[in-house]
Structure 1
Amino acid sequence: MRFVVYGAGAVGGTLAGLLADAGYEVRLVARGAHLAVIRRDGLRVLSPAGSRTYRLPATDAPGDLDWRPGDVVLLGVKGAQTSAAVRALAACADSGTPVVCVQNGVANERTALRRFADVYGVCVMFPATHVTPGVVVAHCAPVPGILDIGRYPHGVDGTAEAIAEAFRAATFHSVLRPDVMRWKYRKLLTNLSNAVEAVCGRLPAGAEVVARLRAEGEAVLRAAGIAFASESEDAERRGDILRRQPVEGQSRDGSSSWQSLARGTGSVETDYLNGEIVLLGRLHGVPTPVNAHAQRVANAHARAGARPGTRSLAEFMAGV
């Protein structure tokens, strides 16, 4: 089994390095300055254990890869980039190539299933950071993250087990989840606060806006008849597995949305987090004013090229 990691950011890049450590052959698809540094200096993965540099073949065009039977795609791009990534993959990879969505949000798997027959969802619990080109940071040890996997839309099979085994060999916790989307919808609810955190910085414990965002989300999912894991199930799964430890010279200042603003990408993934709740609310007649507001404000903040954490919570919530 060879892995093609499409999107070598915080999650994809760290996962690629650890899979290589476990003896798996890995190829990267990356872009821009990040790709340039990887090609020149290698991919540097920082962790509580220290620093390692990986010289992995990398390209910005999946058609450049020598595709083989048994290749598995690990899709690590943001939700807004999934459609383009899947189109690029479909132009060069066999339609039977397994595509594994190691991503936040719940729309990626459906997009991949339009072009590929074997699609897998992963519920990602993995504190990692990518701000500097060529560098990714894993913040937990000895287990860097939890990557539970299942087929989309439901079920498990031998391929899912083989991928879970590879994740475990790379020191992750990974179990098979025939209902993996139920867990990904819980993660979606957790990620609804990313937009506020990205714009305002870390939120105070028990922030009212977080409760309002998630209450809207739960109401929408219930109206849509979509099952989601409970908070208690999520807490039990996490347990004390993810132990954050210092990484020399590094801090984890925010979520993936915060990191997008820090890199000045001009966009955040809020359309596929808060925007998913807004979409479902409109489809099922459930008001979602707080999520719609968070989506608008975060997108405007990103388009303006503003730095993360530069507005007060009161400024963010004005007009809700």
Structure 2
Amino acid sequence: MRYVIIGAGAVGGTIGGRLFDSGHDVVLVARGAHERVLRERGLRLELPDRTLRLPIPVAAGPDDLTPRRDDVLVLAVKTQDTAAVLSAWASYGDRPAVVCAQNGVENERLALRRFPDVHAMCVWLPSTHLEPGVVRAPCAPLSGMLHLGRYPSGADDTTRAIAADLNDSGFEAPVSDAVMAWKYAKLLGNLANAVEAVFGTLVHGAGEGPALDVARRAQAEGRAVLDAAGIAYTDDEQAARMRDGKLDVQPMGRRGLGSSWQSLMRGTGSIETDYLNGEIVLLGRRVGVPVPVNEELQRVAGLFAREGRRPGELTDRERAELLAV
């Protein structure tokens, strides 16, 4: 298989880099300064025990590649960019397999409109991309846990072949017939991403404080909505047991925060909150469950992205309104 990693940022760069380092055929798709640095110097992948400089082939888009029958398109862009990416790649090759290595639950629905062979990936992969050409993946002994299955359910030989390559490359990639239950569980965790972004502080893990309280209330709303909608999700304890002892974050200088925080730090002008907290808002409105915390997080995070604000630049009024919801 040749893995075409569309979006070679924190997640895509780590997956592509580790696959390439293990001898697999990989192409990184990137744009702007990141693309230029990757072409000139290769990918610098910083791991806890070593730093790799990887001369991975780079493409700017489908016109840069000659399609192969064994291509697997791995989507690792943010959800707000998925529709445009799928449109650009819709006529590429002979109906290649597509893997959605993304947060949220909307990407697979979008991909299935364009491609018949779609696989969902639940990504637990702490990583950071803040500098062109550089990705930091601080977990050990594995770089990440990547549950994989066909969308909407099941698994096939392609699923298992992809999982085998990932298991060979520094990941644990369990194959699941019900992978979306894992992705909905991850969605609940990702409701804290907007909190990290606007408060500018780590909220995943133990501790107390106003930001953590907001995150917990957002997640409580999320669970209430999924329960009311009859949507299955894996429980926190099962997920924690799967990751225990496998995804320990190692000290590697300053720790970066989640993907939404990174979007604000890079000044991308967009943020994925509409498809994380916004997914809960959408479902809440459908099933008649109020979700005021997620509504406010969606609104404020969107303002941060549009106004080019850095993480933590909450006004006193915005902070008070979030704490009072």
What is the rounded CA distance, in whole Å, between the counterparts of 1:103 and 1:311 in structure 2?
27
What is the rounded CA distance, in whole Å, between the counterparts of 2:313 and 2:51 in structure 1?
31
- CA separation of 1:59/1:217 partners in 2, compared to 1, >3 Å: closer, same or farther? same
What is the rounded CA distance, in whole Å, between the counterparts of 2:202 and 2:55 in structure 1?
38
What is the rounded CA distance, in whole Å, between the counterparts of 2:120 and 2:50 in structure 1?
30
Equivalent residue, structure 1, for 2:79: 79
Equivalent residue, structure 2, for 1:226: 231
Q: Is 1:301 the counterpart of 2:300 in the alignment? A: no
**Pairwise CA distance, 1:23:** 0.8
RMSD: 1.5
What is the rounded CA distance, in whole Å, between the counterparts of 1:61 and 1:316 in structure 2?
41
Equivalent residue, structure 2, for 1:165: 164
Deviates more, 1:12-21 or 1:52-61: 52-61
Deviates more, 1:86-95 or 1:156-165: 86-95
Matched position secondary structure for 1:243: strand
What is the rounded CA distance, in whole Å, between the counterparts of 1:310 and 1:53 in structure 2?
35
Kindly report structure 1 stretches of 4+ aligned residues shifted beyond 6 Å. none
In structure 2, runs of 5+ residues without a counterpart are: none
Q: How many residues align?
A: 317
CA deviations on 1:221-278 (whole Å, 9 max, x unpaired) are 112111111111111111121111122xx42231000011110111111011000000
Q: Is 1:286 the counterpart of 2:289 in the alignment? A: yes
Matched position secondary structure for 1:56: coil
- CA separation of 1:317/1:280 partners in 2, compared to 1, >3 Å: closer, same or farther? farther
Query: Are the counterparts in 2 of residues 261 and 268 from structure 1 also a CA contact under 8 Å?
Result: yes
- CA separation of 1:89/1:212 partners in 2, compared to 1, >3 Å: closer, same or farther? same
Equivalent residue, structure 2, for 1:122: 121
| TM-score scaled by length of structure 2 | 0.94
What is the rounded CA distance, in whole Å, between the counterparts of 1:61 and 1:21 in structure 2?
23
How do 1:83-232 and structure 2 match up within 5 A? Answer: 83-95=83-95, 97-203=96-202, 205-206=207-208, 207-232=212-237
CA deviations on 1:118-173 (whole Å, 9 max, x unpaired) are 10111111110000011000011221110110000000111111000010111101
Which residue identity lines up with residue 125 of structure 1 in the other structure?
W
**Pairwise CA distance, 1:203:** 4.6
What is the rounded CA distance, in whole Å, between the counterparts of 1:110 and 1:154 in structure 2?
12
CA deviations on 1:78-103 (whole Å, 9 max, x unpaired) are 000111111111122322x1100111
Query: Are the counterparts in 2 of residues 196 and 316 from structure 1 also a CA contact under 8 Å?
Result: no
What is the rounded CA distance, in whole Å, between the counterparts of 2:120 and 2:305 in structure 1?
28
- CA separation of 1:254/1:262 partners in 2, compared to 1, >3 Å: closer, same or farther? same
Which residue identity lines up with residue 277 of structure 1 in the other structure?
I
Query: Are the counterparts in 1 of residues 197 and 260 from structure 2 also a CA contact under 8 Å?
Result: yes
**Pairwise CA distance, 1:312:** 7.3
Which residue identity lines up with residue 221 of structure 1 in the other structure?
L
Deviates more, 1:3-12 or 1:304-313: 304-313
Q: Is 1:266 the counterpart of 2:265 in the alignment? A: no
Q: Is 1:19 the counterpart of 2:19 in the alignment? A: yes
Deviates more, 1:197-206 or 1:70-79: 197-206
**Pairwise CA distance, 1:316:** 2.9
In structure 1, runs of 5+ residues without a counterpart are: none
What is the rounded CA distance, in whole Å, between the counterparts of 2:300 and 2:28 in structure 1?
33
Which residue identity lines up with residue 128 of structure 1 in the other structure?
S
**Out of 286, 303, 313, which is 1:310 matched to?**
313
What is the rounded CA distance, in whole Å, between the counterparts of 1:313 and 1:262 in structure 2?
21
**Pairwise CA distance, 1:297:** 0.3
